[in-house]
Amino acid sequence: MKLSKLRLARLKVPLVTPFKTALRSVDHVDDIVVEIAMDNGMVGFGSAPATAVITGDTHASMVSAIERFIWPAIAGKNIRDLNEICRLIDKSMIHNSSAKAAVEIAIYDLWSQSLGVPLYQALGGGIAKLKTDITISVNSPDEMVADAIKAVDLGYDTLKLKVGKDLQLDIDRIDAVAKAVGPDIRLRLDANQGWSAKQCIQAISAMNRAGIEFELIEQPVAAEDISGLKHCTEQLHTPVMADETAFSFAQSLQLMQNQGCDIINIKLMKAGGISKALNIADAAAVYRLPCMMGCMLESSIGVAAAAHLAASRYQVIEKIDLDAPTLCQFNPVVGSVAFNDATITLNQSPGLGIESIQSLAYL
Ligand SMILES: C[C@H](N)C(=O)N[C@@H](CCC(=O)O)C(=O)O
Ligand SMILES: [Mg+2]
């Protein structure tokens, strides 16, 4: 059961509406897909998007990293040596977390296929159904209200509002959506680093005084502003979540040790793959710090892997933001995890359960 062949492809899927955050605006999912075959004929899949403004990865950098460093480090290895393969991926080069994640996802797909069980069962088992929120892109208050109402009509009970562009307009956006959907709908905010700590504390406190409550506020301040994030955590009763501040296991552990946030958003693309994401979740369980499983704007291949991981660490991964597949016009993956609006149902077939992938353009 040796890793024998690598193929890379590009996968582009149009979105229903443009995805807009304080950091970027895109109208397609555009991933690099990794296909690894073993000498017994089994094939595993992984994927990663090029979120250059978040992780630094581009399509060209991921292809080069995988072809020149990561694959040569693991080619010919036996899938039974999973831990050693993950160590070799990690040590093959520094940074390039999305490229490493794409390869690790394909490796875990193969490993769990070789065991004959779905990935979440290979990771220890868990709950095969998850509920995700949906992201409301940052737009005019009227557009955000219309998108929020559409989402509630589809059955979502939790909305993640993107803000962080202009503080006063952000307050108008949030106020308009909160009034339109009412108190039964949970609101998460994600400023994607767009505010200062002072702005965040003032704005959230003022909205709280006006009777608007939030389930959490995600990454209000710049990624490097560790003390600002901690200050928001100490001053607000709304839980503060680290996203861009918590990339690696080491950064996440530091936040846990220093009580620098209330929640950590774990993403495969930031952590550098499943093995490191598991380390973060397991450490968070020790520190009793709840986590969210998040994703980039990426294809259902990578999000399926994130869903399996979240299912297996349900004790600590209490919140799910795995909405990218439902923001797409179609799901190119046949088989695997089913994404039906807020409901995510894991495959019971071995591995990620991918039968085929449409629209792949091999490189
Ligand atoms: C898609 C998900 N709901 C999300 O918002 N993810 C990121 C941004 C992803 C991107 O820009 O590709 C986040 O900041 O949480
Ligand atoms: Mg975020």
Per the structure, how many domains does the chain have?
Answer: 2
CATH of the domain at 67: 3.30.390.10
Active site positions, annotated: 162, 267
Exposure string for 262-293, b = 16+ CB within 10 A, e = fewer: bbbbbbbbbbbbbbbbbbbbebbeeeebbbbb
Q: Is 324 in the pocket of ligand 1 (CB under 6 A)?
A: yes
Q: Is 296 in the pocket of ligand 1 (CB under 6 A)?
A: yes
Domain boundary among 116, 131, 163: 116
Query: Does residue 107 share a domain with residue 192?
Result: no
User: Angle CA(328)–CA(333)–CA(336) in degrees, nearest 5?
Assistant: 115
Query: Does residue 112 share a domain with residue 127?
Result: no
Q: How far is the CA of 297 from the centre of ligand 1 (A)?
A: 6
Q: How far is the CA of 75 from the centre of ligand 1 (A)?
A: 32
Query: Does residue 249 share a domain with residue 108?
Result: no
Query: Does residue 329 share a domain with residue 222?
Result: yes
Query: Does residue 289 share a domain with residue 160?
Result: yes
Q: What percent of the chain has pLDDT over 90?
A: 100
The band of 50, judged by pLDDT with boundaries at 50, 70 and 90, is very high
Q: How far is the CA of 236 from the centre of ligand 1 (A)?
A: 23
Give the tokens for residue 4.
Answer: 């024998």
**Mean pLDDT, to the nearest integer, of 249-277?**
98
Query: Does residue 189 share a domain with residue 71?
Result: no
- In the prediction, which pLDDT does 14 show? 98
CATH of the domain at 336: 3.20.20.120
Give the tokens for residue 237.
Answer: 């009763």
Domain boundary among 116, 145, 176: 116
Query: Does residue 277 share a domain with residue 356?
Result: yes
Exposure string for 333-349, b = 16+ CB within 10 A, e = fewer: beebbbbeebebebbee
Domain boundary among 93, 116, 139: 116
Pocket test for ligand 1, best of 135, 292, 299 (most atoms within 8 A of CB): 135
Query: Does residue 136 share a domain with residue 84?
Result: no
Query: Does residue 284 share a domain with residue 255?
Result: yes
pTM for this prediction: 0.98
Q: Is 21 in the pocket of ligand 1 (CB under 6 A)?
A: yes
Span 55-111, pLDDT tens digits = 999 999 999 999 999 999 999 999 999 999 999 999 999 999 999 999 999 999 999
- Closest ligand 1 atom to 321 CA: 3
Query: Does residue 94 share a domain with residue 171?
Result: no
The band of 189, judged by pLDDT with boundaries at 50, 70 and 90, is very high
Query: Does residue 91 share a domain with residue 235?
Result: no
Span 285-321, pLDDT tens digits = 999 999 999 999 999 999 999 999 999 999 999 999 9
Q: How many CA atoms lie within 13 A of 168 on its CB side?
A: 0
- In the prediction, which pLDDT does 19 show? 98
Burial class (CB in 10 A: 0-12, 13-18, 19+), 189: buried
**Mean pLDDT, to the nearest integer, of 222-238?**
98
Query: Does residue 137 share a domain with residue 111?
Result: no
Span 101-150, pLDDT tens digits = 999 999 999 999 999 999 999 999 999 999 999 999 999 999 999 999 99
Range of the domain at 84: 3-116
Task: Give this complex's ipTM.
Answer: 0.99
